[in-house]
Structure 1
Amino acid sequence: MPEPIILIPARYASTRYPGKPLVSLKGADGEKTLIQRSWEVACRVLPRDQVYVCTDDDRIIAAAEGFGAQTVLTSDRCRNGTERCAEAVRNLGTDAEIVVNLQGDAPLTPSWFVADLIEAMRRAPELSAATPVLRCDAATLQSLKNDRRAGRVGATTAVFGTDWNALYFSKEIIPFCDQLAADAPIPVFHHVGVYAFRAKALAAYPDLPVGTLEQLEGLEQLRFLENGLVMKCVEVNARGRVFWELNNPTDVPLIEAELQKELA
């Protein structure tokens, strides 16, 4: 079977944070751009010749090639990272059977999250797509509740069946658990925005109808569920690590504080 690849979709024209992929982040290993740190996460999982930055912006292409990354130029018509990955696969002409979408704003993603996804896809050839979920601890759940009470979206949560196939993803906290007993296991799972796709399923994604739920939630993975496709949830263990994404300028000091620690 052909080796898997990791694609890192990145765009310059972010609504909330223009130029975000080229923001510099200071860490224990010096100062590097966000896109370079995301690429380095991928290179801890697969050899660098199986990792690509895909973007519609020449500035990101130049920066990525400057630190040694392979790049794929995509159009500016892609509506989300999964569509950009689908186009990148077409442009590459690769025969990879497993394609990972690692978000370009995720420099703290533990490498084993990605490795666990790839392994799940290898074990079950019938899977179309897989994504990591992480059980919330009490502190994380309380933080999510505080965010919602303040009108902020703290994270995406996921619910799934006994077969671990996703039932729904939401920016609300699901399932409802305000009456949960103090000693009961917390049933809320944080969704980590990384995806592994079978190449055929990824190729079909841009042509799937965009449904009401995807539009309302602003979650690209809901396109699979609304069109009756299966996405497997893979439980991962953070091993004490935090993995904030960089969404706003205020996130920079939080991420830099973590980057001062040694990354696995």
Structure 2
Amino acid sequence: MSVLIVIPARYASTRYPAKPLVPLTGADGVPKTLIRRSWEAALSVSGADRVVVATDDDRIRAEAEGFGAEVVMTSPDCANGTERCAEALDRIGGDYEMVVNLQGDAPLTPAWFIEDLVAGLRAHPWAELATPVLRCEGAMLASLREDRAQGRVGGTTAVFGALNRGIYFSKEVIPFTAGTYAPHDPTPVFHHVGVYAYRPEILRAYPNWPVGPLEGLEGLEQLRFLENARAVLCVEVEARGRQFWELNNPSDVPKIERMMAEMGIS
């Protein structure tokens, strides 16, 4: 019943080159790189048996090994984090119950998001992978809308149906909602948290499927599962007062640093 956490990290991001090495200053005024903060977030997860950084870049490798992380080198040809996790699993080997993809651009991911995700996949044998969704409050929905209005790719939203089975994920804000919401009001929009828990057999199958039209349009790796009729479980998680945001654009750095200061995260 072992759980492997893989943190995929690449240097040559189209939208934000060198993103894993971007420093983020916490509440104590000490800067740490994004990849280090992601690794520390993974170490705080209860029930994780092993944490590795999967990268194709020696600069990221040097940084990660410098703060004590285990690193698995993977091919520069991996198209996304899921493919990188699949290659890392092949290189590591072992009989893991599930593999968690903690993407390296989400340093504010609370440990209980991942713990709830693992528990959700264990509780639903029909699901082949699981991913967390967080109901937006008015302030988060306003931030998502502002990013789109300014032409920025911000967070991803998710819609799901019966049994919380995933229907679609988009970089647009879906479903459509009219009007505005007060900052702390719940909304019908769910923010997709970029973490995945895969059963090993579905993770190994993923790189063999071609990129479908929806994945090509949206640039979202999880759509490849839906386009191949695979069962994706959306696990609703609770913020518990924590703010959450992913580092997608340079403009997100001060936003995340402000959130860390407000929450006292060093």
TM > 0.5 between the two? Answer: yes
**1:83 is the counterpart of 2:83:** yes
Counterpart residue number, 2:129: 129
Residue 237 (structure 2) aligns with? 236
Unaligned runs of 5+ in 2: none
User: How much does 1:95 deviate?
Assistant: 1.3
Distance in 1, Cα, partners of 2:260 & 2:181: 36
Distance in 1, matches of 2:79 and 2:70, equals 22
Q: Cα gap change, 1:196/1:253 in structure 2, threshold over 3 Å: closer, same or farther?
A: same
Q: What are the Cα deviations for residues 161-194 of structure 1, in whole angstroms up to 9, with x where unaligned?
A: 1210001111112122227999x96321111111
Counterparts of 1:54-65 in structure 2, within 5 Å, are: 54-65=54-65
- 1:33, distance to aligned residue in structure 2 (A): 1.2
Secondary structure at 2:153's aligned position in 1? coil
What SS class does the counterpart of residue 13 from structure 1 fall into? Answer: coil
Alpha-carbon contact 1:48-1:69 (below 8 Å) kept: no
Question: Contact 2:108 / 2:245 at 8 angstroms: preserved in 1?
Answer: yes
**Residue aligning to 2:159:** 159
Structure 1 residues 125-184: Cα deviation after superposition (integer angstroms, max 9, x where no partner): 3321000111112232233333333333332111111210001111112122227999x9
Output the CA distance in 1 between the equivalents of 2:133 and 2:82.
Answer: 18
The residue aligned with 2:52 is 52
Paired residues, number: 262
State, as a whole percentage, how many aligned pairs show the same letter.
Answer: 63
3-state SS of the aligned residue for 1:127? coil
Q: Is the 8 A contact 1:209 1:227 kept in 2?
A: no
Structure 1 length-normalised TM: 0.92
Distance 2:190 2:51 in 1: 28
RMSD (CA atoms) = 2.2
Q: Give the stretch that moved more between structures: 184-193 or 215-224.
A: 184-193
Structure 1 Cα separation of the partners of residues 153 and 252 of structure 2: 14
- For structure 1, the 5+ residue unaligned runs are none
Query: Is the contact made by 2:126 and 2:231 (CA closer than 8 Å) also made in structure 1?
Result: no
Aligned to 2:264: 262
- 1:226 aligns with 227
> Which residue identity does 1:92 align to in structure 2?
I
- Do residues 111 (structure 1) and 123 (structure 2) align? no
Give the 3-state SS of the residue equivalent to 1:204 in structure 2: helix
TM-score scaled by structure 2? 0.91
2:17 and 2:138 map into 1 onto residues whose CA distance is: 34
The answer to whether the Cα contact below 8 Å between 2:156 and 2:192 also exists between their aligned partners in 1 is yes
Quick one: distance in 2 between partners of 1:26 and 1:141?
Answer: 25
Q: Which moved more, 1:18-27 or 1:157-166?
A: 18-27
> What is aligned with 2:217?
216
The separation in 2 between residues aligned to 1:48 and 1:138, in whole angstroms, is: 33
SS of the aligned residue for 1:188 comes to strand
Q: Give the 3-state SS of the residue equivalent to 1:249 in structure 2.
A: coil
Matched position secondary structure for 2:164: coil
CA distance in 2, matches of 1:40, 1:152: 28
Asked if structure 2 preserves the Cα contact closer than 8 Å seen for 1:49 and 1:70, the reply is no
